[in-house]
Amino acid sequence: MIVADRAHPAVHLGPGTQRLRTRCLARRGMLHSECEAFDHLRISPGACFDLPGRDGTEAAWYVLSGLAALLDCPEQPHRTLAAGDLLLAPDGRRVHLHGGPFGAELLCLTVLPDGISTELPPRRPDLTRP
């Protein structure tokens, strides 16, 4: 696993006071790992985050605090996500979030789909070597 050592997130500026702060907490560093990435995201009030998704991955978005509106996603119904909510984006589906009145803070875990991860060789320690 490759762990990010940056102390500060990347800040993306939008119109007005819109800000998007992203920080990669860890990325896949092994060939046979189901976990692709673990990311932290802060969306300022009214800011937009549009992630088209990647083929061959699935994502789980967990809302840590605030509100985020899920918009403009044909695969997902329009809804508001609050702290404690989990949004699943299977099959590389698009995620289009808007920060609520006080913004939102989320964690995203991106993994390989079950169909791919079950085909990976088992990872267990080799106990035959000293």
Closest of 40, 41, 49, 39 to residue 18, by C-alpha: 49
Structural domain contains residue 109: yes
C-alpha 14/C-alpha 115 separation (Å) is: 38
Give the total number of structural domains in the chain: 1
Closest of 115, 76, 74, 70 to residue 96, by C-alpha: 70
Q: What is the DSSP string of 56-92?
A: T-EEEEEEEEEEEEE-S-TTS--EEEETT-EEEEGGG
Structural domain contains residue 124: no
Residue-wise pLDDT for 76-129, tens only, equals 667 899 999 998 888 777 788 889 999 999 998 888 777 776 776 666 666 777
Q: Kindly report the CATH number assigned to the domain that includes residue 103.
A: 2.60.120.10
Structural domain contains residue 10: no
Structural domain contains residue 2: no
Residue-wise pLDDT for 30-87, tens only, equals 545 677 778 889 999 988 888 777 777 888 889 999 999 887 655 666 789 999 999 8
List all residues 6 or more positions away from 35 whose beta carbon is below 8 Å from its beta carbon.
Answer: 1, 26, 28, 109, 110, 111
C-alpha 73/C-alpha 33 separation (Å) is: 29
pLDDT for the residue 73? 59
Structural domain contains residue 14: no
The Cα-based distances of 28 to 17, 81, 106, 115, 126 in angstroms read: 33, 27, 19, 18, 22
Structural domain contains residue 79: yes
pLDDT for the residue 2? 46
Structural domain contains residue 81: yes
pLDDT for the residue 62? 93
Give the residue numbers spanning the domain of 97.
Answer: 22-115
Structural domain contains residue 48: yes
